[in-house]
Amino acid sequence: MPYRKNFKRSYPLILLILIVLFLGAVNSAEDDIYEKINRNMDLFGQVYKEIALNYVDEIDADKFITAGIEGMLSTLDPYTNFIDEKSRDQIDLITSGKYGGVGITVSVKDSVIVITEIMNGYEAEKKGLRVGDKIIEIDGVELKNQKSENMRGLVRGPVGSQVTVVVDRDGEIITFNLVRQEIILKNVSYYGYLEPEIEGIGYIKLDRFTSISESEFENALKSMKAKREIKGLIIDLRDNGGGLLDAAIGILNKLVPKNSLLLITKGKRADSEKKYFSKEDPMLSQDVPIAVLINGKTASASEIVSGAIQDLDRGVIVGTKSFGKGLVQQIKDLDSKSQIKITGSRYYTPSGRWIQEKNYFKENKYGVFVDKTRYDQTDFRTLDGRIVKAYGGIEPDVEVKTVPETEIYSGLLSKDMFFKFANSYIERNPDIKNVSPGDEIFAEFRIFLAANNFSYDSQIEKKLKEIGQLASNKSYSQEIMNSLNKIENIVESDETNEIETAKQEITLAIVNEINKRIINEKEQIEAVFPFDIQLQKAVSILENKSEYNQLLGK
């Protein structure tokens, strides 16, 4: 009893001592990190100064410091990056979906920058630029052997400013004087009801998450609801690399019950944890089934949406495993010309999953991370008790694998044969209104390939040539060389049939390339629906209530 009385009397003093010791430890830790920062900054500055002034060759001081910064950041995760003045327009594009330009998409073909897409309603279309035009000069700068990303910096600029573009159109040199406009990229590239419309299955294709994604998604739902009752909804997030976290949260608010946990983010400090909840009533009844399409290019904000819908058992996920990006970045100004995009937190789906695929944390060869076991995880459960995996992207509830890209298709693509054939086809059929996959167009394409002497070396041919070269260097017998030649002839003979094996893949690519020139974006997307096996599987699931409920464990 005396001991207890004395302890009670001493308790406030002990507590005060503990608080002082704790604060002292915290201050000591903070003092220690700032001391290290100051010491290492001095060291970094000395190395930079010594090299810039005394290295044997002339050094570009600006590029040298940028290389140092990027080298330092390369020891961290893949998404913490230095952003210089030239790259800031890309950040503006990611956050706002807007930029100053003329409305064209380009790529490099045969070392020449070629227009591959003309956006409807913008300056390039109004002034008469065409798909297939070769850009040879912009504002007096010749583009020979330039990369397409370098051209982007030339053609983009302040809204209202002028840019002069010189193109080669089938040997004719044409100059276009264009005025840059505000180009607004659509986030929802397609919405509507899938055929047959009487089933009431809606489809929304969401390409990115910017500041206007939520409003576009909401308007798409409103437009479909105004037309008829939505009896099922497919959200296509394939190839959607993400964007703004707030846009993902906003879209989830339209789909899940009010007050649902949507996301958890956690930073370095214990008090950094933040939970996001839905704050509004959803736009769809919870009886309306939802399917979300994902693939290996579904990342970031797209995974926040698909992960929450899966964890809350609000819908089924169809396709292939997503990319696996479980990190959140912030953009901070360093000075008037540069910024840093820094990973400030991890995000966790409602069940608590961290879905990061690239394990930079454990694989880092420089050892800059102190605790490498802190984020080991196990299985988690959805709201209704289904087991979901925590690591390496979002696993679909229904896996639907697409046919891998064939080697012959890659060879045709690398030599721009689809693009060249489409140009030739349109030139020969200037009044064509539509084109469909079929034997006739495939046969024309084969004739075109023969006329243009198309050939490519497959992987096995390349390996055989390497082996042949090694055998020749070793002076192997003629018998061995003859055997290698015989194998190579057999391979070449088999490869003549390879194009027939990949007929469907090649025919679809031909039609898609031609359609870019004769029909609008909406019609191009619709033309692919019948051949989209992942989409068709999602439709069949939504039409079968029993299968849908079984997948959700109901």
394: DSSP letter: P
Whether residues 309 and 234 fall in one domain: yes
Domain boundary among 184, 213, 240: 184
User: What whole-number distance in Å separates Cα of residue 74 and Cα of residue 368?
Assistant: 11
What's the pLDDT at 197? 66
Residues 6+ apart with CB under 8 A from 524: 512, 515, 516
Mean pLDDT, 10 residues at a time, the chain of 554 residues: 43 48 51 79 88 90 86 85 73 72 84 84 89 89 73 82 91 92 90 84 96 96 95 97 94 98 92 95 97 96 97 98 91 84 92 84 65 67 92 92 87 87 92 89 94 81 75 76 74 71 92 88 90 96 96 92
Residues 6+ apart with CB under 8 A from 449: 412, 417, 499
Whether residues 446 and 381 fall in one domain: no
The number of folded domains in the chain is 4
Whether 305 maps to a domain, the answer reads yes
Q: What distances in angstroms separate CA 242 from CA 256, 329, 399, 475, one per listed residue?
A: 20, 12, 21, 56
What's the pLDDT at 31? 58
Whether 79 maps to a domain, the answer reads no
Whether residues 496 and 358 fall in one domain: no
Q: Which of 134, 205, 321, 325 is catalytic?
A: 325
User: What whole-number distance in Å separates Cα of residue 160 and Cα of residue 314?
Assistant: 46
Scan for tokens 């944890």, then name that residue: 273
Q: Which of 77, 133, 236, 311 is catalytic?
A: 311
Residue 485 structure tokens: 């030649």
Whether residues 356 and 494 fall in one domain: no
Query: CATH number of the domain that 332 lies in?
Result: 3.90.226.10
User: What whole-number distance in Å separates Cα of residue 186 and Cα of residue 203?
Assistant: 16
Beta bridge partners of 192: 203
Scan for tokens 């009533």, then name that residue: 281
Domain boundary among 368, 401, 434: 401
User: What whole-number distance in Å separates Cα of residue 207 and Cα of residue 205?
Assistant: 6
431: DSSP letter: T
Q: Residue 487: how many CA atoms within 13 Å on its side-chain side?
A: 14
Whether residues 260 and 174 fall in one domain: no
What is the domain extent for residue 368? 199-401
User: What whole-number distance in Å separates Cα of residue 378 and Cα of residue 390?
Assistant: 6
Whether residues 174 and 206 fall in one domain: no
264: nearest Cα among 385, 380, 361: 380
- Cis bond before residue 257 (omega within 30° of 0): no
311 is catalytic: yes
191: nearest Cα among 176, 206, 180: 206
Whether residues 366 and 497 fall in one domain: no
Whether 423 maps to a domain, the answer reads yes
Whether residues 427 and 469 fall in one domain: yes
Whether residues 414 and 368 fall in one domain: no
The model's pTM: 0.81
230: nearest Cα among 286, 189, 188: 286
Whether 70 maps to a domain, the answer reads no
What's the pLDDT at 171? 84
Whether residues 229 and 319 fall in one domain: yes
325 is catalytic: yes
What's the pLDDT at 367? 65
DSSP assignment of 302-334 equals HHHHHHHHHHTTSSEEEES------EEEEEEES
- Dihedral (CA of 154, 156, 162, 166) sign: positive
Whether 450 maps to a domain, the answer reads yes
Q: Residue 355: how many CA atoms within 13 Å on its side-chain side?
A: 34
Domain boundary among 378, 401, 424: 401
Residue 255 structure tokens: 């789909």
Whether 6 maps to a domain, the answer reads no
- Dihedral (CA of 416, 418, 423, 424) sign: positive
Pairing, β 327-333 against β 316-319? unpaired
What's the pLDDT at 92? 66
Q: Which of 213, 260, 278, 300 is catalytic?
A: 300
Whether residues 272 and 385 fall in one domain: yes
Q: How far is CA 417 from the centre of its chain?
A: 25
Whether 8 maps to a domain, the answer reads no
DSSP assignment of 32-101 equals HHHHHHHHHHHHHHHHHHHHHHHSSS---HHHHHHHHHHHHHTTS-TT-EEE-GGGHHHHHHHHHSEEEE
Whether 254 maps to a domain, the answer reads yes
What's the pLDDT at 8? 47
Residues 6+ apart with CB under 8 A from 324: 299, 303, 355, 356, 357, 358, 392, 393, 394
Whether residues 373 and 235 fall in one domain: yes
Query: CATH number of the domain that 130 lies in?
Result: 2.30.42.10
What's the pLDDT at 98? 77
